[in-house]
Chains A and B, each alone.
Chain A
Amino acid sequence: MSALSSRDWGNLALCAIALAIAACLPWTAGAYGLSIGVTIAMYTVLATSWALFSGPTHYISLASAAFFGVGTYVTGIGIQYLPYWTLLPIAGVSGAVMAALVGLATLRLSGVYFVIFTLGLAEFVRQIITWSQNISGTKGIYVLTSIGEMHIYWQLLGLAALVWLLGWLIGRSRLGFALRIIGDDEAVARHSGIDTARAKILLFMVPGAVAAITGAMLAPRYVYIEPSLAFSPMLSFQVVIMALLGGTGRLWGPLVGVIPFTFLWEAISVSFPNQTTLLLGVCFLVIVYLLPKGFVGLIDLAARRMRSAEGYV
């Protein structure tokens, strides 16, 4: 790792200021604004951590809902026995362990197997939990805490800051370098002595842990937890769409996708509640055919045009 240049310090300071401004939202926005803020913060965390893994490796993970659901259940069950603050690390560790197991089973194989495996994972865990609830006779779980929207929002912001910091550190580390090579050409990576499976599994543990912690943080918001809510498969697809819409090439890319998509989603689900799946489908097609690099690609293109117009290139 090389020393930080003055530009790095400047960027870090800018990020800190932006975060501080974002943290003031609970005082400036109303209840509705804050609830949108929580949603945006939640998807920012999920999409950014998703892009950390799927961006360089091109493996499309649909496991977010599974990790998220496990996190909500950690809070749901654990809150009766343990203080809230110990639950977040427990959720993180269980998410990471689960991700490592999934990775061990599939990341040595081709991408298609990984997609199918992660697609089925949430449904699998959901069926197991529903079944064990049927046997034990309990239905849902109530999560009654004094944690309000405001606290959830600050926690999510803190987590987002952590994810960005982690992504930035990975980008500067040997692991990040190895991943960029794997993304370009896996055969080359293997021949130059990179343990590709190990690198991928290690990296996959990041979105696993982060999604589980996010789930644990959001459990108090739902109040009542049941399997079909905690493991909603839609969540995985929304995360994928938002991250790809923004672009996975940059650390801040997913954020650019999350904000417009959240507003669009809110607008559609208020006026045409049955058409959200159609919207999701159309977004997928738009990404593949029109925006293969996401909004980040567009921004980069515009920046390049401007520079060449000014005669720098």
Chain B
Amino acid sequence: MTARGSRFAGLGRHLVLGAGAVLMLLPLLWAVRISFLPAEDVFSPQFHLLPSRWIGFENYARALTASPLPRFLLNGVGVCLAIIVCQLLVAIPCAYVLAKARVRGQWLLWLAVLVGLVIPPAALALPLFIMAAQAGLIDTYAGLILPWTISPLGIFLLRQAFSRVPDEIIEAARLDGLGEWEILVRLLVPAVAPAIGALITISLVAHWNDLLWPSVVVTSASKATPPFGVMLFQVQEIGSDYGPLLAGAIMIAAPLLALFILTQRRFLDGMAWLGSK
């Protein structure tokens, strides 16, 4: 009786969870559906759950040929890579000093990081645009990358992680004769690897999907990142042809999805690690 009871309870649990998952995935599934619909089905008065005729990957082919989508993807990879590398190069030493050094005026720096953390990026778009314009960075890769090289969130996350490394480990390393840079690179960075992983993930998602800043600073399609490129392409080429549009959207989301599925365990570990701190 209890075995059957628990089986029913298990079934119930899975039904609830499954329904939740489907609900979450519904917009994505809808996008996938539309990306396979021929143009006449999208606006036809009758509702077709499945395409009335199979057009295969025609919408995908159109998305790829009607716009420089591969170029957008390449731009996205390059810009995100540059941003993340710069963020780590800045955040790791900065966080180390904030966590472990005893420097006069350190609290002021920490305060600046916290202030930076609470200001929404959108609020900075205008001043950043003016600065970029004056520096002649409009419609350049540098204009896309430079404003995001210092990440208050990154400094904050890594500072918290470094604070958790016992001082005794650093002292032992000093006794062993290691220099400060070597201590940082060889001992502390591996010790906070989960936090670095989490930072990379957060940063990648934020900048890959960023629409606002590219739309401010980029004017030509050759420098566009994927979401902004797709938007350009919607307005200029396709108009309201939703099939190819959603095919494009799915293709720009796919790399992140694939990355997430491949690194799912590490990603969740990193997030759990952040949550447990």
Are A and B interaction partners?
no
B residues whose Cβ falls under 8 Å from a Cβ of A: none
